[in-house]
């Protein structure tokens, strides 16, 4: 008798991380239900799965009651705007999906007896005063600043998840995801990697915010998915940082992109958005110990794959301006 595949619900399935998770779980023999309302995602990311027998898709806003027929073994809650430009543009939806959306997912996990993994973020550490960031650091978040809508939604999400674990005994996993990149990011979502590569491809100057001395640590999507997969299947219910500790300043990073793309454009400096964290690097000791995981893909390898993906996109996608200009984003700091 053939084994019945485990069923997994992935919210935010049409987004960058969600679509890669769908691929991974299908590859591992799971039956996958993808859910999304397309607010920042695109069905293009799932088009290759349309006719796959192990994949079904439900268009739904997770902030309203979620109803799934039949058994469910796992829920991965990834629905949420993730780019600072996105969450500045849709702040209320961002707060709602982190709070109401998470509550609905947790309620569903409780009803189905499912294990739930939530996509938390390095943003729970805010502009960190501890470096590198360890999971026991409580963070430095400005709740009423422009990023507060995302950071506080994610902090609430963690608190609610832990409450369901403590009071309802729901098996939970909390992934604190650090800046992750790769194919299927939206070229115009404003995050630094698609922003710089898009600018290089369009023959525009690269916009470095502030003096570029702020740092980030970029994790390639394949490594991130492996870490998330291992975390879900672990027994660990406390937060785990998943990211790549290789840290670089944004100024140096712009130079890497200039070298990679061969662009003859230069770097131009713009104001630093308010509350932009000045440093970020995960301490991944917990992930190493509990999951036996650490990233394997060097930045130059991941960036080349990402660049090749963006290069193949149509000229229409390359030139589509979803957010009026980068200046409009920076101006929010003055409002
Ligand atoms: P993304 O914008 O590509 O994907 C998010 C998806 O969620 C989109 O497809 C969007 O349409 C969907 N969505 C948003 N609100 C929804 C709602 N109410 N109902 C249903 N679907 C909804 O972003 P991403 O980079 O793939 O991020 C996915 C998750 O990972 C987010 O929760 C984000 O906070 C988290 N995360 C990502 C990163 C990163 O570097 N990519 C870092 C930290 C945390
Ligand atoms: N950034 C930049 N130019 C851009 C976009 C982003 O200098 O065109 C900077 C941004 O100010 C931040 C870093 O790059 O310091 C990473 O930004 P991103 O939006 O990718 O993610 P964050 O880590 O801030 O959420």
Distance (Å, rounded) from C-alpha 68 to C-alpha 59? 12
Strands 7-11 and 74-77: parallel
What three-state secondary structure class fits 77?
Answer: strand
Q: Whose CA is closest to 75, among 58, 50, 87, 92?
A: 58
* 58 phi/psi in degrees, rounded to 5: -125, 120
Q: At what angle do helices 102-112 and 148-168 cross, to 10 degrees?
A: 20
By most ligand atoms within 8 Å of CB, the mutation choice from 191, 202, 211 for ligand 2 is 191
By most ligand atoms within 8 Å of CB, the mutation choice from 120, 197, 250, 327 for ligand 2 is 250
> What is the number of the ligand closest to the CA of 100?
1
The confidence score (pLDDT) of residue 316 equals 73
On whether the CB atoms of residues 209 and 227 are closer than 8 A, the answer is: no
pLDDT tens digits for range 55-70:
999 999 999 999 999 9
In what helix (H) or strand (E) does residue 160 lie, and over which residues does it extend? helix 148-168
Spacing, Cα 10 to ligand 1 middle (Å): 11
| Residue 36 bridge partners (DSSP) | 59
> What is the number of the ligand closest to the CA of 178?
1
pTM: 0.96
| CA gyration radius, the chain | 19
> Which residue has tokens 């309302």?
37
Domain residue ranges in the chain: 7-334
Catalytic residues: 150
In CATH, which of 2.60.320.10, 3.90.110.10, 3.40.710.10, 3.40.50.720 is domain 7-334? Answer: 3.40.50.720
pLDDT tens digits for range 79-113:
999 999 999 999 999 999 999 999 999 999 999 99
> Which residue has tokens 């409780």?
110
Residue nearest to atom 19 of ligand 1 (CA): 61
Instruction: Indicate whether residue 79 lines ligand 1 (CB < 6 A).
Output: yes
Question: What does pLDDT average to in each consecutive run of 10 residues of the chain (335 residues)?
Answer: 88 98 98 97 95 97 97 98 94 98 98 98 98 98 97 98 98 98 95 97 96 98 98 98 98 98 97 96 98 98 97 80 45 39
């Amino acid at each position: 008798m053939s084994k019945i595949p485990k069923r997994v619900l992935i919210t935010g399935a049409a987004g960058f991380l969600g679509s890669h998770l769908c691929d991974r779980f299908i590859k591992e023999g799971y039956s996958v239900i993808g859910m999304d309302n397309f607010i920042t995602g695109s069905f293009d990311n799932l088009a290759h799965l349309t006719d796959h027998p192990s994949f079904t898709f439900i268009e739904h806003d997770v902030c309203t009651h979620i109803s799934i027929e039949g058994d469910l073994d796992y829920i991965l809650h990834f629905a949420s705007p993730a780019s600072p430009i996105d969450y500045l543009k849709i702040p209320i939806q961002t707060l709602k999906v982190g709070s109401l959306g998470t509550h609905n997912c947790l309620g569903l996990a409780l009803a189905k007896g499912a294990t739930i993994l939530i996509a938390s973020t390095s943003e729970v550490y805010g502009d960190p005063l501890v470096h590198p960031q360890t999971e026991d650091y409580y963070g430095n978040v400005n709740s009423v600043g422009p990023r507060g809508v995302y950071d506080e939604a994610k902090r609430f999400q963690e608190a609610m998840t832990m409450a369901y674990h403590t009071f309802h005994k729901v098996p939970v996993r909390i992934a604190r995801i650090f800046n992750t990149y790769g194919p299927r990011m939206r070229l115009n979502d404003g995050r630094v990697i698609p922003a710089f590569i898009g600018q290089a491809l369009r023959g525009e100057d690269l916009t470095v915010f502030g003096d570029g001395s702020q740092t980030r640590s970029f994790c390639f999507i394949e490594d991130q998915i492996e870490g998330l997969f291992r975390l879900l299947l672990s027994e660990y219910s406390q937060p785990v940082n998943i990211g790549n500790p290789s840290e670089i300043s944004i100024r140096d990073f712009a130079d890497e992109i200039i070298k990679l793309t061969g662009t003859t454009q230069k770097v131009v400096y713009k104001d630093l958005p308010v509350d932009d964290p000045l440093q970020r690097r995960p301490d991944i000791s917990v992930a190493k110990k509990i999951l036996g995981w650490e990233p394997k893909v060097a930045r130059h390898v991941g960036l080349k794959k990402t660049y090749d993906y963006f290069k193949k996109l149509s000229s229409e996608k390359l030139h589509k301006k979803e957010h009026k200009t980068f200046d409009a984003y920076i101006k929010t700091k003055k409002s």
